[in-house]
Amino acid sequence: MPAMSEQERRPQDDGRDFADAAWSIPSYILSGIILYGGGGWLLSRWTGVAVLTPIGVIIGVVLAIYLVYRKYGR
Residue of 72, 74, 18, 39 lying closest to 28 (CA atoms): 72
Q: Distance between CA atoms of 56 and 31, rounded to whole angstroms?
A: 12
pLDDT surpassing 60 at residue 1: no
Phi and psi angles of residue 2, each rounded to the nearest 5 degrees, phi first: -70, 155
The structural domains of the chain, with segments of one domain joined by +, span 12-73
The confidence score (pLDDT) of residue 13 equals 58
pLDDT digits (tens, 9 = 90+) for 4-17: 555 555 555 566 77
Q: Which amino acid is at 68?
A: V
> Is the overall model pTM greater than 0.75, yes or no?
no
Q: Distance between CA atoms of 42 and 48, rounded to whole angstroms?
A: 10
H helices present in the chain, as ranges: 11-47, 52-72
Per-chain mean pLDDT for the chain: 84
